[in-house]
């Protein structure tokens, strides 16, 4: 799960495993696998970094790796 913010500043959480695309048009738009779209304050590069960190934490938890 990742924490992001709507344009009005409201925080919400998305399931990182269900993200299909992340685009900047110019606001960052996250499209989920169910075709639902969210416009967020965070730049696309930050959303991608959060998804990568989430996946790394998940991998470490499943495989018992600390590196």
pLDDT at position 52, please?
96
Sign, CA dihedral 49-55-57-63, equals: negative
pLDDT at position 22, please?
98
pLDDT at position 66, please?
64
d(CA 15, CA 44): 16
Query: Taking a C-beta distance cutoff of 8 angstroms, is the pair 47, 1 a contact?
Result: no
pLDDT at position 59, please?
87
Task: With a cut of 70, list the residues of the chain below it in pLDDT.
Answer: 65-67
Cut 0.85: pTM above it: yes
d(CA 15, CA 40): 14
């Amino acid at each position: 799960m990742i924490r992001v913010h709507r344009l009005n500043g409201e925080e919400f959480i998305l399931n990182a495993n269900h993200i299909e695309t992340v685009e900047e048009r110019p606001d960052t738009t996250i499209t989920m696998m169910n075709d639902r779209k969210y416009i967020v304050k965070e730049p696309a590069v930050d959303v991608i970094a959060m998804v990568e960190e989430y996946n790394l934490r998940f991998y470490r938890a499943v495989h018992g790796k600390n590196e």
